[in-house]
A = this chain, B = another copy of it.
Amino acid sequence: MGLNEFLEDLHSIDRQRLHLERCVALLQWDQETYLPEKGVDERAEQLAILEGISHERLASPETGRLLSELGSTAEDPTGNEKLPSLERDFLKTFRKKYDRAVRLPARFVSEAARAEGLSQAAWVRARQDNDFSAFLPHLVKMIDFSRQKAMYWGYKDNPYDGLLDIYESGMGEKEVSAVFTPLGEKLKELLKKITSRSRPDNSFLEAEFDIENQACFNRDLLTRLGFDTCRGRMDLSAHPFTTTLGSNDVRITTRYLKRQVQSGIFSTIHEAGHAFYDMGFPEELRGSCLADGASMGIHESQSRLWENVIGRSRPFWEAMFPALRTYFPVALSSHTAEDFYQAINLVEPSLIRIEADEVTYSLHIVLRFELEKELFSGVLDPANLPAAWRGMMKKFLGMEPETDAQGVLQDVHWSMGSFGYFPSYALGNLYSLQFWEKLKSDIPMADEQIRAGNFSSIHAWLKDTIYIWGHRQDPRDLLMTVTGKSLSSEPFLDYVESKYAGNFS
């Protein structure tokens, strides 16, 4: 057998694994949208079986043999130099998945999965009861399992680097700190400036907005954004998400709140941004591990670009507000696109991350990043986390939660052992503006096109410039390829400063 045959066999394993993961994704999608209440237990069993088979396929001795026949090793994953660059990128990405899968002992995986299940359930109760101490032993365990995971997988300088690497391949604590620390300081200053000004009136958004009409408007909006319903769909779920069940089957969910019409709208746009990315990988990558986003943060940059940079812009609502008003003539008759624009862009410190605006959102993330660093360096005892949380809130947002439920217990991530995940959100914000800066220089008329409700050249640019790479490049390389620059918070800071403090600068 020659290289081509080995490659073909490896692609076939990858394709099977991918399809099995998509079956898993369908089971999960169904669980969040349509599964009857009492079907949950058996669904969990079905998921465990499929995930087990998918893992078996990936981590089989046959996979290892093919990788080594192709010259791919853990140290030098890209394999034989005779292979074309696309295949070497494939080997690099696939090898990483393989190494991740085989390095964790089966016993560890099942113990960790069990502990995560218990921890998440304990977190739900602890948040309800506002009882951090009940969650603490689970949190300690999750930190320990995460540290062990990092050990098994290997890391650059410290275990937290190994965790960051799961979500942002190639990004370490030092690199993120170098950007996040000044970002935090500058956003704090900006926030002070903004809150010293008069607050725009957003009370009209608290009127009653009929759910049926919200659903109709959001469907219209999705179509006008350019979402192809022959290749995807939108449903309802408690927590909006995007999932890929096939190259031509990318699904998003949203949710409607009667007294917060903007909640559904921005969920829809955010998830559509994720979906455009997953729908846009080039034909040649489909059915392989390269048909994926470059990282969590790059994926988030796509959702945020649509949700915030485009979706919270003045031109966007000049285009969309008339349609919104036809669905809600009573609530909106005496309001203009400009009123709506001001109202949806209200900036003020708040306790809850997922309700935060564009300026304070990244502060919530920097805070979590600081705490994660301290937890993993051992400086911070998990038992002292609530106090440390309040201190950080005071420092970054100038306010403190009255309860742990509104503080350290608000997010699910740590209860699942997902340490290192939070930074991706703020990195997504930064990436999105680095990309947008480049897009604007390539498409100087972008704002005018948005004002005309025309997104076709933006879609084409994203597809040809970002989506085209799929998972072939790490976020750092992709950033360099697309923008010619490395990670920087400057474009993001310029954007929020000119948008929110224009009068002061």
Contact = CB atoms under 8 A, between A and B. Distances in A.
The number of times this chain is found in the oligomer is 2
Interface string A202-232: 0000000000000000000000000001111
Contact of A39 (B34, B38, B53, B248): B248
Given A42-B249, A53-B53, A26 B36 contact: no
Interface string A30-68: 100011111101110110011001000000000000000
- Counting contact residues on chain A (CB < 8 A from B), the size range is 20 to 34
A43 B43 CA distance: 20
Contact of A42 (B30, B41, B46, B248): B248
Contact of A249 (B19, B39, B248): B39
A269 interface: no
Contacts of A42: 19, 22, 245-249
Nearest to A247: B42
A317 B251 CA distance: 42
A16 B56 CA distance: 15
Contacts of A247: 42
A236 interface: no
Q: Select the residue from A30, A38, A41, A230 with max chain B CB neighbours within 10 A.
A: A38
Given A30-B30, A49-B19, A49-B20, A43 B246 contact: yes
Interface string A428-465: 00000000000000000000000000000000000000
Contact of A36 (B22, B27, B49, B233): B233
18 contacts: A16-B49, A19-B45, A20-B49, A22-B46, A23-B46, A26-B30, A35-B249, A36-B248, A37-B231, A38-B230, A38-B248, A39-B231, A39-B245, A39-B249, A41-B248, A42-B245, A42-B248, A43-B246
**Which 10 A/B pairs are nearest by Cβ-Cβ distance?**
A39-B249, A42-B246, A38-B248, A37-B230, A19-B46, A38-B230, A39-B248, A39-B246, A38-B231, A19-B49
